[in-house]
Structure 1
Amino acid sequence: MSRRHLMLKIVLPLLILSLGIGGMLLLVKSRQVPPQQSPENRGILVETMVVKPTDHRVEVLATGTVQPRQQADIVPQVSGKIVEIAPQLVAGGFFRRGELLLAVEAVDYRLAVERAEANLSRFELDLETVRARAAIARQEWDQLHPGEAAPPLVVLAPQLKNAEAALQSARAALELARLDLERTRLTAPFNCYVRSETTAAGQFVRAGTSLAVVVGTDQAEIITPVPLDDLIWLDVPRRNGDQGSPARISLQIGDRAQLWAGYVDRSLAEVDARGRMARLAVVVDDPFGLKQQQSGVAELAIGSFVNLTLQGKVLEQVVALPRQALRDHDTAWTVDDRNRLRIKSVDIVRREREQVLVGTGIDTGDQVVLTGIAAAVDGMLLRPQQREAQP
């Protein structure tokens, strides 16, 4: 290899490297340093809602099981063989008040009425006979002893009283016989449906034996536990017949929620020993929809477990805040007109399941912060974004 070729092979790469380093240094020295800019502090992004005091009706949420308001055992007052049974006297059958449930053989009781009527006629005749004899005896005494009082035995006074008593007893016996005859036909004591029955045609029944259980259909009631603190918001009647706070009863059936209207009827005047809660009775009229004109009305069946919303008193000019907006139990965060955080103490009137009702501390038009902020400090800069209105 020639010396010239060797020099080119060594010197040329060094020359290229030197030119590259020189060009890089020239570019570094000739560049302009960009002006330094501090990032703009726009504040922490938070979700807010604008509040306005309004009148708010207190709602107390509760649950309970539907149970009968009226229930009765069908018990015959006379003995005999069953000769007639209504076709709908089966479990689930409906009756109107006064409709026949079943009938006991009435032959013996009809004969007893005829026998009592005959006895009554005989005692009426006996009384008339004694009265006639007493009148004759008094007339004879007055002729023989004018101006003197007749002794009771002479004018048949004891016999007359005995005949009158016998006649009164005969009338009572006739009334009892007629009553027993009426009792051979058992009718529905009120609008009802049959809960259970143990009857069969030809069956001999004795007085005092339960044959069926019927449940009233005009009303049903729900016994629901309510916290003692919630009683102050509800209207609980103290007299029979008064209606208390309205109630909305809901039951989820499939993908639909069925609704019924009711009202607070009374308090059971005792506190549950386990839960330390008061118990209220809520009444629902026409739970089976029998009085409704339209078809397809859902039945509020006995034994259903339902949700209740008891509508209480109206609180005037309060602010309803989501529970997430309440801080440290009695404070709320707001945003002022300069987008600064303000921590305010609030007066809580009532705490509900999903919201709190504030009496004072929040003004009309305040933007209340809904987003949580770590280490929040009064006066810190925020970037509020109002919550979209709920549809």
Structure 2
Amino acid sequence: MGRLLRATLPIAILIGGGALFFLLSSMRAAPQRVDRVDLGPLVQTLDDKAGTHQVIVWAQGAVRPDREIDLVSQVTGVVQWISPELESGGFFAAGELLARIDPEDYELSLQQVRAEVERNRYLLQLEHGEAEIARLEWDRVHPGVEADPLVLRIPQVRAAEATLRASEARQREGELRLERTQIRAPFHGRVRTASVDAGQYVGIGRAIARIYSIEKAEILVPISDEELAWIDVPSPLESPASVGTQDPEESETHPPVTITARYAGREHRWQGRVVRTEGELDPRSRMAHLVIEVSDPYRRVAALQSPQSATQASGSAARAQESDKHDAAPLMVGLFCDIEIRGRVLQNVIELPRGAIHASDQVWTVTPAGQLRIHNADVVRTSRDKGLVRLSLADGERVIVSQLKGVTHGMQVRIAGESAQEARR
């Protein structure tokens, strides 16, 4: 009996477990069937309407002075004195004395000429007296008879007048030579190089320094013909009066420019204007060269024009104090800059990221129902990271800016930020 129980007990347990499993399985409810909805890929969109946009043209260029000359001596002699500012990097005001040549020889020569002028004035007066005596004598001896000019000493008077005029011209020449022993600055500027020192002998036409103006600076910007079309460059056919007398900083015909460059470890910005193009295209690159003008690039013109600095011999201390009041960094000659030129204004265009334009002229949009549409847009202009297009959009239609693969017209997409219920609707 015990042996039979041990043999049948495992079989009974297995049968009971199987029956219990079958019972529990038959009691479990069947899972609810849910239809799968394809919501499509997730996309970022741009809700931007057509409007007015200004074209921005990017370029690069280096700063150069608008005027640069050799400062030369107009007389010969020994350099007696030079200004402390007459060294590389020195600043000076218009009319400031930069060097003086020993004037003694010219002073002595001028004294001699002045004495000659006084003598010739005396001789002229003497001739006038002699002529008057001759006229009176002729009228007494030959009343009513016309006298010969030689008798009345008219040629002698004219010769004395000519001699006086010649001596007065030599006097003026001597005064000019004496004045030119003082070499003065022709404009507000800075010294690039100096090549003379006190005690040195110089001749006529000898360059004593290379100087440039700091009243204005120029940036020469090479630009392609395609980019030039977007800039309202002042026409070379404008009348000389309008070009030469109008201040570029106040003219609406000169496109404004923002200049960016790094100086002293920091990024700085300056404002300028496009004033003209150079006289020819580059023969190798076939590119035009725009000339951008910046007023007072060193922020020193106001200080140089002040009466206090103008009365000082060197003026360097006063200029340094005045310059410290300006927060803007100087636009140094030779600085390489990034140029942002504000060009023409376009109407009825949409500004898109460059990546939203596909296959050169296709734009993807999404309808309120979540369907993707492929449009052939009128691409007006593309730049480094932006594009301007003309595109007709239906109400609620938005431009897709995401990058997708396997795009087809009418495919379902989801707009980022919408819930699943909104996407299904």
What displacement does 1:226 show?
1.7
Matches within 5 A, 1:91-240: 91-238=88-235, 239-240=243-244
- Structure 2 residue matching 1:222: 3-state secondary structure: strand
What displacement does 1:112 show?
1.2
What displacement does 1:223 show?
0.4
Matched, 1:282 2:282: no
RMSD of the alignment, in Å? Answer: 3.0
Name the residue aligned to 1:245.
Answer: 255
Name the residue aligned to 2:421.
Answer: none
Which of 69, 74, 95 aligns to 1:77? It is 74
The question of whether the paired residues in 2 share the 8 Å contact of 1:344 and 1:361 is answered with no
- Structure 2 residue matching 1:98: 3-state secondary structure: coil
Which of 358, 380, 399 aligns to 1:349? It is 380
- d(CA) in 1 for partners of 2:377, 2:101: 73
Name the residue aligned to 1:89.
Answer: 86
Name the residue aligned to 1:8.
Answer: none
The question of whether the paired residues in 2 share the 8 Å contact of 1:51 and 1:364 is answered with no
The question of whether the paired residues in 1 share the 8 Å contact of 2:378 and 2:390 is answered with yes
- Structure 1 residue matching 2:58: 3-state secondary structure: strand
- d(CA) in 2 for partners of 1:194, 1:348: 50
Matched, 1:377 2:387: no
- Structure 2 vs 1, CA of residues 363 and 94 (structure 1 numbering), >3 Å: closer, same or farther? farther
Per-residue CA shift, 1:281-326, capped at 9, x if unaligned? Answer: 1011111122467244311111110001011222234210111111
Aligned length: 382
Per-residue CA shift, 1:308-363, capped at 9, x if unaligned? Answer: 10112222342101111112222211111110011122222222221111234346
- Structure 2 vs 1, CA of residues 203 and 364 (structure 1 numbering), >3 Å: closer, same or farther? farther
- d(CA) in 2 for partners of 1:323, 1:44: 21
Which amino acid is the alignment partner of residue 184 of structure 1? T
The question of whether the paired residues in 2 share the 8 Å contact of 1:51 and 1:366 is answered with no
The question of whether the paired residues in 2 share the 8 Å contact of 1:86 and 1:100 is answered with yes
Matched, 1:321 2:325: no
The question of whether the paired residues in 1 share the 8 Å contact of 2:368 and 2:397 is answered with no
- Structure 1 residue matching 2:207: 3-state secondary structure: coil
- Structure 2 vs 1, CA of residues 363 and 280 (structure 1 numbering), >3 Å: closer, same or farther? farther
Which of 244, 266, 269 aligns to 1:259? It is 269
- Structure 2 residue matching 1:101: 3-state secondary structure: strand
The question of whether the paired residues in 2 share the 8 Å contact of 1:52 and 1:364 is answered with no
- d(CA) in 2 for partners of 1:320, 1:326: 11
More displaced 10-residue stretch of structure 1: 190-199 or 343-352: 343-352
- d(CA) in 1 for partners of 2:164, 2:175: 17
Which amino acid is the alignment partner of residue 346 of structure 1? A
Which amino acid is the alignment partner of residue 240 of structure 1? G
- Structure 2 vs 1, CA of residues 361 and 259 (structure 1 numbering), >3 Å: closer, same or farther? same
Which of 59, 83, 97 aligns to 1:62? It is 59
The question of whether the paired residues in 2 share the 8 Å contact of 1:228 and 1:278 is answered with yes
- d(CA) in 2 for partners of 1:83, 1:91: 20
Matches within 5 A, 1:299-318: 299-318=330-349
Q: Give the TM-score normalised by structure 1.
A: 0.88
What displacement does 1:32 show?
8.2
The question of whether the paired residues in 2 share the 8 Å contact of 1:59 and 1:312 is answered with yes
More displaced 10-residue stretch of structure 1: 338-347 or 250-259: 250-259
More displaced 10-residue stretch of structure 1: 89-98 or 141-150: 141-150
What displacement does 1:145 show?
2.9
What displacement does 1:136 show?
1.9
The question of whether the paired residues in 2 share the 8 Å contact of 1:349 and 1:357 is answered with yes
- Structure 2 vs 1, CA of residues 270 and 33 (structure 1 numbering), >3 Å: closer, same or farther? same
Name the residue aligned to 2:369.
Answer: 338
Per-residue CA shift, 1:14-58, capped at 9, x if unaligned? Answer: 979x9799889979x969875665422111222211112232121
- d(CA) in 1 for partners of 2:397, 2:88: 62
- d(CA) in 1 for partners of 2:382, 2:414: 29
What displacement does 1:201 show?
1.2
Matched, 1:366 2:397: yes
Per-residue CA shift, 1:236-260, capped at 9, x if unaligned? Answer: 2242344211110001246632001
The question of whether the paired residues in 1 share the 8 Å contact of 2:127 and 2:156 is answered with yes
More displaced 10-residue stretch of structure 1: 124-133 or 231-240: 231-240
- d(CA) in 2 for partners of 1:356, 1:33: 56
Which structure has more strand as a fraction of its residues? 1
- Structure 2 residue matching 1:127: 3-state secondary structure: helix
Percent of residue pairs bearing the same amino acid type:
35
- Structure 2 vs 1, CA of residues 40 and 71 (structure 1 numbering), >3 Å: closer, same or farther? same
- d(CA) in 1 for partners of 2:333, 2:46: 44
- Structure 2 vs 1, CA of residues 318 and 140 (structure 1 numbering), >3 Å: closer, same or farther? same
Q: Give the TM-score normalised by structure 2.
A: 0.81
Q: Return 5+ residue gaps in structure 2 as ranges.
A: 236-242, 249-253, 303-322, 419-425
- d(CA) in 1 for partners of 2:381, 2:210: 45
